[in-house]
């Protein structure tokens, strides 16, 4: 199904499509090009589909296990960003830059970073002008230094200028996520603990930010409420019979990850005795409390630490023997990395 919005210089098609994810990927769906090759991006925006996917496997899911989920992404964030910035057209470029003028350009770093967002940046430019030639010099996950080129682009100057800010916005935000993730990953190196993200993401950008976490060497926690069970303290307000609930969950969702949050040693003692629980989350505990809880480990149980995690504390937390450390900072407050576009006429 779709909706169309028209005005004198702007044609936007929102094309809704269901995506199915199985254990391998959560498919990232873009929108199909609709016969607009060569049109001026200052006067038309066409949403199109990109034939690629963003792999996503929830933490704690062993290899070979299938996780079924159905997710609707009604609007692509790339298209939202283009519409938000360009609106009815790039007036400045339309008046100052001849339609046939051509340029070559490069996007380069202005700070040390771990790259993320190159594919999305390419999607921005190709959506505006499929004839642009784009070459990625440093793919996602690469370290990059000030002055180094991330991406090269050639084609119509109007198209490049129109997409510049949207492409840079994605790169700078996503590279901020991957860069801080890499710092956390390096801080726990050799301990066996794995760094996880959380659901504390920018609305509408979760799958992009989680891809950036992977580019930085981290792992994804659950994508949403649909692909894992996380029992938190507020879920226990009604005092459910946890053993019965977990048994029912296992019957209906035999392969789904089940995790429970504990904020005391006594809770951990109870939870490790419940058959069917995969992960116990140790919430806002000191390293000493974590060690005491981890000593209760039985076969099949893993432990995750959360709360009070920073670059200053993460090593000590990892050395307690936890399997996972979830860090909200990776996505909710990662500082953006500065990138710029440099152009020269062909």
Active site residues: 165, 200, 232, 261, 283
What span, in angstroms and rounded, lies between the C-alpha atoms of 169 and 208? Answer: 13
Residues 6+ apart with CB under 8 A from 240: none
- b/e per residue, 271-300, with b = 16+ CB within 10 A? bbebebbbbbbbbebebebbeebbeeeeee
> Per the structure block, which two tokens stand in for 335?
């500082």
SS3 of 267-311: HHHHHCCCCCCCEEEEECCCHHHHHHHHCCCCCCCEEEEECCCCC
Q: Kindly state the helix (H) or strand (E) to which residue 214 belongs, with its residue range.
A: helix 206-215
Q: Which of 299, 327, 323 is nearest to 313 (CA)?
A: 327
Q: Which of 336, 58, 335, 326 is nearest to 188 (CA)?
A: 326
Chain centre distance of CA 270: 34
């Amino acid at each position: 199904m779709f909706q169309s919005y028209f005005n004198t210089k702007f044609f936007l098609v929102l094309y809704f499509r269901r995506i199915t994810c199985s254990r391998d990927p959560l498919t990232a769906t873009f929108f199909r090009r609709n016969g607009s090759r060569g049109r001026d991006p200052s006067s038309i925006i066409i949403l199109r589909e990109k034939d690629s996917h963003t792999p996503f496997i929830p933490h704690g899911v062993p290899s070979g296990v299938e996780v079924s989920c159905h997710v609707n992404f009604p609007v692509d964030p790339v298209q939202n960003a283009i519409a938000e910035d360009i609106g009815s057209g790039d007036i400045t470029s339309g008046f100052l830059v001849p339609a046939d003028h051509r340029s070559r350009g490069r996007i380069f770093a202005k700070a040390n970073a771990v790259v993320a967002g190159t594919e999305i940046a390419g999607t921005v430019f190709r959506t505006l002008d499929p004839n642009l030639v784009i070459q990625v010099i440093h793919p996602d996950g690469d370290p990059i230094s000030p002055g180094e080129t991330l991406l090269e682009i050639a084609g119509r100057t109007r198209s490049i200028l129109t997409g510049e800010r949207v492409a840079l916005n994605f790169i700078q935000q996503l590279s901020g996520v991957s860069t801080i993730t890499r710092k956390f990953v390096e801080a726990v190196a050799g301990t066996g603990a794995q760094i996880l993200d959380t659901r504390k993401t920018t609305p509408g950008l979760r799958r992009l930010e989680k891809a950036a976490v992977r580019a930085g060497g981290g792992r994804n926690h659950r994508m949403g409420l649909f692909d894992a069970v996380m029992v938190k303290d507020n879920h226990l307000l009604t005092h459910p019979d946890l053993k019965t609930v977990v048994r029912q969950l296992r019957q209906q969702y035999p392969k789904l990850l089940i995790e429970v949050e504990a904020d005391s040693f006594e809770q951990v003692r109870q939870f490790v005795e419940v058959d069917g629980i995969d992960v116990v989350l140790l919430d806002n505990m000191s390293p000493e409390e974590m060690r005491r809880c981890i000593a209760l480990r039985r076969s099949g149980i893993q432990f995750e630490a959360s709360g009070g995690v920073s670059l200053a504390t993460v090593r000590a937390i990892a050395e307690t023997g936890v399997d996972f450390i979830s860090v909200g900072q990776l996505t909710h407050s990662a500082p953006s990395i500065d990138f710029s576009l440099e152009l020269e006429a062909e």
